[in-house]
Structure formats: structure tokens, C-alpha cells
Chains A and B, each alone.
Chain A
Amino acid sequence: NAGVTQTPKFQVLKTGQSMTLQCAQDMNHNSMYWYRQDPGMGLRLIYYSASEGTTDKGEVPNGYNVSRLNKREFSLRLESAAPSQTSVYFCASIYATGVYEQYFGPGTRLTVT
């Protein structure tokens, strides 16, 4: 099993450009999450999908959109990138909410100039 995979690993964007971060998991997990990690701020939840067909806002959703394409894939879109979105983005999945732990992808390091 590959676990949770993310593409791309690195990306540089200019302000105003758009891009989509891809995430896929092969563990038959039901719930998927997108976080951003910034120094001194830990992990902040952007959006999550508790199950296929549902998505909900997290703590910092502004400037982002998500799509739960199917049970395996959960993408994060930046429609008009801003320097404040420079961060490391992690996707995570979990079999079901409750007593299970999250599994994380390797991350995408995004720089917006």
C-alpha cells in the first residue's frame, strides 16, 4: 500500500495564479482532511470530508475549495493564490472519525511570490 500520496511535492506560484493539490489514499479510508502547517502555529484544518460526497469547512477555509472526487481522492484548489497561502500542506485520511488515528501524506511545500 502506498498509504496517502500527494502531488506535487513542491510548487512556486505567482500571486493570482491558481492550482490544485492532489491527494489520494489506498487504505479504503472514509474521511479525508487538508491541513496547512506554518511555523509556530501547528496544524490548522482547512477543509475535511467525513465521507464520500460530503465536505465541510475547517478552521481556515478562506481562499480554498475542495472536491472529494471519489472515496480515494480529495483535492484542494487555490483559485487565486496569495502570499499568505505560502505554507506546507498536508493531506490526511482516517478510517472513520472517533477512535482511529490519522495517516498523513508527505506534504506539498507551496511558495506564493
Chain B
Amino acid sequence: AQSVSQHNHHVILSEAASLELGCNYSYGGTVNLFWYVQYPGQHLQLLLKYFSGDPLVKGIKGFEAEFIKSKFSFNLRKPSVQWSDTAEYFCAVNAQSTSGTYKYIFGTGTRLKVLA
């Protein structure tokens, strides 16, 4: 079955530390990849997305992610986090089935807390 794994459930960092959140998916076909962020008390918003082309994609607020096809991974990175990055981060995969339909699958999320 298709799945998305986010191995870090809780991450605590100090401001200015570097961030890398892991995301692995299990699907061998065509995928579109997303990272969403949910700030406290708010709804999910898109951080960045990958469809094709350059596997290193840049998103809003200094975030970037790298698609490594051979590792089925799409890790999220930020060189220097800020207190305002405290949020929950969700990786998502939109996978195309053999019938041509797409299915959206979310990971379980990573809660990031940045200490001022």
C-alpha cells in the first residue's frame, strides 16, 4: 500500500540551528510531492512542491526540499530556523495509480518547536 513516513515526530531546536525533516514514501510510479505547514491554531498551507525538473525546490520563508528518487525521499531543510517556524510540518504525496486516478497521502506530521 502507498504510504508516507515522517520519522521525526517531535523536533526541538534553538533559533539559528539548521533543520532537516525526513520524508519517505513508498510508491514506484509517478508522484508529485508537497510539504505543508500548519502554524498553531491555523489550517494547512503549502510550503513547497515538486512536480518535475530540478530536484531541489525552494519554497516560502527560506525552506527548500530535495527529491531523491533512488531513496524515495523528499526531505525538508532550512539553514537557520526562527522562533516563528514553530509549527507542524506535513509531507504529502500525490500518486498516480495504474488506472490514471490520483490519490493524496499525508504523512503523520512533525511538530517543530524553536526555542528563542
What B residues does A33 contact at CB under 8 A?
104
Chain A interface size, as a band, is: 20 to 34
Q: Is A111 an interface residue (CB 8 A)?
A: no
- Tell me how far the C-beta of B27 lies from the nearest C-beta in chain A, rounded to whole angstroms: 15
| In the bound complex, CA of A94 to CA of B94 (Å) | 12
Is A40 located at the chain interface by the 8 A CB criterion? yes
Q: Decide if A98 touches B104 in the complex (CB within 8 Å).
A: no
Complex CA gap A56/B102 in Å reads 13
Q: Interface segment, B12-20, B42-50, B60-68, B70-78?
A: B42-50
A40, A43, A98, A106: which has the most chain B beta carbons within 10 Å?
Answer: A43
Whether the Cβ atoms of A99 and B34 lie closer than 8 Å is no
Is the beta-carbon distance between B104 and A99 smaller than 8 angstroms?
no
A106 and B104 contact, CB distance less than 8 A: no
Answer whether residue B22 sits at the interface, using C-beta atoms and an 8 A cutoff.
Answer: no
Looking at the assembled complex, report how far the CB atom of A53 sits from the nearest CB atom of chain B, in whole angstroms.
Answer: 16
A47 at the interface (CB under 8 A from B): no
Contact: A101 with B108, CB < 8 Å? no
A101 CB contact (under 8 Å) in B43, B46, B106, B109: B46
Question: Which residues from chain B sit less than 8 Å from chain A, CB to CB?
Answer: 6, 9, 32, 34, 42-46, 49, 51, 90, 92, 94, 96, 101-102, 104, 106-109
**A-to-B contact residues, CB < 8 Å:** 33, 35, 40-45, 50, 90, 92, 94, 97-99, 101-102, 104-107
A-B contact pairs, 28 of them (CB 8 A): A33-B104, A35-B106, A40-B108, A42-B6, A42-B109, A43-B44, A43-B90, A43-B106, A43-B109, A45-B104, A50-B101, A90-B43, A92-B44, A97-B101, A98-B32, A98-B94, A98-B96, A99-B94, A101-B34, A101-B46, A101-B49, A102-B44, A102-B46, A102-B92, A102-B104, A104-B43, A104-B45, A107-B43
Given contacts A99-B51, A101-B34, 8 further A-B contacts (CB under 8 A): A40-B9, A42-B90, A42-B107, A45-B104, A97-B101, A102-B44, A102-B104, A104-B44
